[in-house]
Amino acid sequence: MDIALHMASMLKTLRQEKGWSLSQAAAYTGVSKAMLGQIERQESSPSIAILWKIATGFNVHFSLFLPTENHQQRPVFSGPAPQMTVEPLFPYDKQLRFDHFSIHLAAGASSQSSAHDGGVIEHVVVIEGRLSLQVGDEWYNLRAGEGKRFAGDIAHGYYNPQDKSVHFHSLIHYPAPKA
């Protein structure tokens, strides 16, 4: 399935399940009503940061927006400007409640992530290169083989200070739904 079609379909389905208008979805996600409409009509491909905002606003895991019918060929999402590519290493695990991604960030590129829902824990491990990781007001410089575990419910960002791509893994653990 085409990634843009899948994202459009998933966004519309989630909105309908919650009974939200585009305006309500915009209020919960922090993404403009116009952008949400363009994504649903497949007129725009969201950046990874925008897709994270949508997933957080709907309280769903990120990989829900990536088609995974054929696990032999995992989808790679890069957004409209391929500064960052995200490839799921495993499909979302409902029992263990985690996403596991392989991420490449282009030379000199950065990506900001808004705070995820309360209780989300993220683990970042650098596979190749160097990564500057910002968690709240703190910065961590990670080299290949080094990692950082942090609460994902605060704003965080990734910056590649090198003149070549950095490769890292991100494992995101979601808390159990509140009863």
Domains of the chain listed by start with CATH number: 3-65 (1.10.260.40), 84-173 (2.60.120.10)
E strand or H helix at 109: none
Q: For residues 116 and 73, what is the distance between their CA atoms, to the nearest angstrom? A: 28
pLDDT at position 137, please? 95
Per the CB < 8 A criterion, the answer to whether 84 and 106 are in contact is yes
pLDDT at position 171, please? 94
pLDDT at position 176, please? 83
**How confident is the model over 48-103, as pLDDT tens digits?**
778 888 888 888 888 888 776 544 444 555 554 568 888 888 878 888 989 899 99
pLDDT at position 73, please? 45
> Which residues, in sequence order, are CB contacts of 76 under 8 Å at separation 6+?
85, 86, 87
Q: For residues 99 and 152, what is the distance between their CA atoms, to the nearest angstrom? A: 13
Q: For residues 70 and 172, what is the distance between their CA atoms, to the nearest angstrom? A: 22
* Mean pLDDT, rounded, of the chain: 86
Token pair for 119: 């209780």
Confirm whether pTM is higher than 0.85.
no
**112 pLDDT above the threshold of 80:** yes
DSSP H helices in 41-148: 48-58
**How confident is the model over 20-50, as pLDDT tens digits?**
999 999 998 889 999 999 999 988 888 777 8
pLDDT at position 132, please? 97
Phi, psi of 9 (to 5 degrees): -65, -45
pLDDT at position 72, please? 43
pLDDT at position 179, please? 63
Give the alpha-carbon dihedral of 56, 61, 67, 71, to 10 degrees: 160
Q: For residues 13 and 10, what is the distance between their CA atoms, to the nearest angstrom? A: 5
